[in-house]
A = this chain, B = another copy of it.
Amino acid sequence: MDVKDLCLGALTYGDATGYDLKKFFENAFGHCFLAGYGSIYPALAELTAEKLVTARRVPGQAGPSRKLYHLTTAGRRQFLAQLETVEPQHKVKSEFLVLVHFSHLLPPQRLNEVLDRHLQEIEQKLALMEACEPRKARGTLPSAGARFAFGFGKAMMTAAREYIRTHRHSLISGGNGTNPSQKPTRLRKVAQAVSRNRGYPNA
């Protein structure tokens, strides 16, 4: 599932410009799938070439010349097929957690900054989601799926916030800083602690 598919999906809700799509992605998928203009416009060009969408120029109007994209029947069919065949992955890439993992190598002040900033970001995103909540916002997205995905995001962020709030003390109390007085952990032991790992592909 790439940006092209996401565009097809978004266009099931109606015609839109590349610019609209970006905004839509921020509102509807901000917590689970971001895409920038640098991905969207090339994606739309390819989709047009594949006849999965059609482009219609809308010159007059307010603002600069726009290009309204429209989902074709083939495009809709392809999207539905895609939905049935992709294996739904859920990946987290968190430099934040890596940093925290190594908090014993961090100056306490920096650690606090990192923690505070992360809490702030969570608060911010939560507020943003609140603002375009499916049920009450104008231009509602009423589908049960949209509500579920939204609620999921909110649940995750709330849980993250709670965890940080209730556990951050454990990071600061355990006298850290530049103190190298711990008996070194052997990496190889840790690596082999759990042998047969089903669940992680090679590559």
Q: Which of B10, B96, B193 contacts A139 (CB 8 A)?
A: B193
Q: Which of B80, B92, B105 contacts A80 (CB 8 A)?
A: B105
Q: Which of A9, A31, A92 has the most chain B CB atoms closer than 10 A to its own CB?
A: A92
Q: Which of B23, B143, B170 contacts A148 (CB 8 A)?
A: B170
Q: Interface extent on A, as a size class?
A: 35 or more
| Copies of this chain, tallied across the complex | 2
**Given A84-B110, A185-B13, A200-B34, A97:B92 Cβ within 8 A:** no
Contact call A96/B103, Cβ cutoff below 8 A: no
**Given A88-B118, A171-B145, A187:B11 Cβ within 8 A:** yes
Contact call A149/B101, Cβ cutoff below 8 A: yes
A72-B97 Cα distance, complex, nearest whole Å: 24
Contact call A84/B97, Cβ cutoff below 8 A: no
Residues of chain B within 8 A (CB-CB) of A118 are 88, 90
A27-B144 Cα distance, complex, nearest whole Å: 36
Residues of chain B within 8 A (CB-CB) of A141 are 185, 190
Contact call B90/A187, Cβ cutoff below 8 A: no
Q: Which residue of B lies closest to A89 (CB)?
A: B95
A139-B202 Cα distance, complex, nearest whole Å: 23
A15-B89 Cα distance, complex, nearest whole Å: 33
Residues of chain B within 8 A (CB-CB) of A87 are 95
Q: Which of B38, B101, B148 contacts A146 (CB 8 A)?
A: B101
A106-B148 Cα distance, complex, nearest whole Å: 14
Q: Which of B79, B142, B152, B197 contacts A163 (CB 8 A)?
A: B152
Residues of chain B within 8 A (CB-CB) of A57 are none
A49 within 8 A of B: no
- Given A6-B98, A9-B102, 17 more pairs with CB closer than 8 A: A20-B187, A21-B191, A23-B192, A28-B101, A28-B190, A31-B92, A36-B201, A36-B203, A83-B102, A100-B149, A101-B146, A103-B145, A104-B144, A125-B199, A138-B189, A141-B185, A152-B160
